[in-house]
Structure 1
Amino acid sequence: MATWKDIENAEPGFAARVRAIFDAHKHKTIATLRADGSPRISGIEAGFDGGELTFGSMPRARKGDDLHRDPRFALHSASVDPPEGDEAGWPGDAKVAGRAVPAGPVDGMPGEMFRAEIDEVVVTGLNAAATALVIETWTPGRGLRRVER
């Protein structure tokens, strides 16, 4: 498992691109696991603070209950369409998967914060000519890899 700071230290350029994609929009999507093991998708806000990726859950929210029962999650940035006529200008999508660790109350409001222990970070975008998909994946064990297809 890694913290966001570990990724920033290992691959600062990649981490900066991932953060820019996440920071471009307030709302993200998180996948958690229901009690029966089926997936649940929920809207969420997430942020980067002090070398940590954090997100919160309101009291009695299903996603918070899910994370207490099974901490595995996948967090996805907002998805936007590539700019028409400038498809290569699309920043892409970013995803983070790992485990959520309870991190105390939300400052100034009801709810609970979680910090991410990260297993994988992925950016999916287009090459400079916008003719192929580019998938960049970082994991603690393998580091950064790039596939173009």
Structure 2
Amino acid sequence: MATWKDVERSEPEFADRVRKIFDANKHKTLATLRADGAPRISGTECSFADGELTFGSMPRSRKGADLLRDPRFALHSATVDAPDGDDAAWVGDAKVAGRAFHAGDVDGDIEGDLFRADLDQVVLIGLNETATMMVIRTWTPAGGLRTVERT
């Protein structure tokens, strides 16, 4: 497992691009596992601060209960379409997966639980410069950064 700071240290340009895609929009999609093992997706917000990726849940929420029972999660950036007729302008998607651990209460006026992400995968999906191939860049703590291109 790794923290966001580990990704930044290992691949600063990659980490910066992933973070910019996550930060471009307020709402993200979080996948957790229900008690019966079925997937659950929920809207959430996340924050990158002090080398950590964190996100919150409202008090007694189902996603919070899911994470307290089974910390495995996947978090996906907002998906934004390219401008019509300009596929090369698509900024791409970013996603992370790992385990989320309760890190206390959410700071501020809103009550809730704060979760800290331990990452086992960070993915950046985009297009090549000519928008003819999908480019998938994946970072893992053990394998570092790998790039795969697909037509």
- Alignment match, 1:112: 113
Task: Answer with 100-109 or 8-17: which moved more.
Answer: 100-109
In structure 1, list runs of 5 or more residues that go unmatched: none
Partners of 2:60 and 2:27 lie apart in 1 by 20
Q: TM-score, normalised by structure 2?
A: 0.97
User: For 1:73-128, what per-residue CA distance to the aligned partner results, in whole angstroms no more than 9, with x for missing partners?
Assistant: 00000001112232111110000000001110001221010010000000111110
Q: Which residue of 2 aligns with 1:60?
A: 60
Q: Distance in 1 between matches of 2:59 and 2:114?
A: 11
Deviations 1:14-68 (A, max 9, x none): 0000000000000000000000000000000001010000000000100000000
Paired amino acid for 1:143: G
1:34 aligns with 2:34: yes
Aligned to 1:44: 44
Residue 74 (structure 2) pairs with residue 74 (structure 1): yes
Q: Which residue of 1 aligns with 2:127?
A: 126
Aligned match of 1:86: 86
1:20 corresponds to: 20
* Partner of residue 146, structure 1: 147
> Offset at 1:13?
0.1
Q: Which amino acid aligns with 2:58?
A: M
Percent identity of paired positions between Structure 1 and Structure 2: 71
Taking structure 1 as the reference length, what is the TM-score of the superposition?
A: 0.98
The aligned residue for residue 11 of structure 2 is: 11
| Structure 1 ranges of 4+ moved more than 3 A | none
Secondary structure of 1:13's match? helix
Q: Measure the CA separation in 2 of the matches of 1:44 and 1:110.
A: 14
The amino acid of 1:36's aligned partner reads D
Task: Extract unaligned runs of 5+ from structure 2.
Answer: none
CA RMSD of superposed structures (Å): 0.6
Tell me, in whole angstroms, the C-alpha distance in 1 between the residues paired with 2:68 and 2:116: 13
What is the rounded CA distance, in whole Å, between the counterparts of 2:24 and 2:5 in structure 1?
20
Rounded to whole Å, the distance in 1 between the matches of 2:95 and 2:10 is 17
Taking the aligned partners of 1:102 and 1:13, their CA distance within structure 2 comes to 29
AA matched with 1:76: H
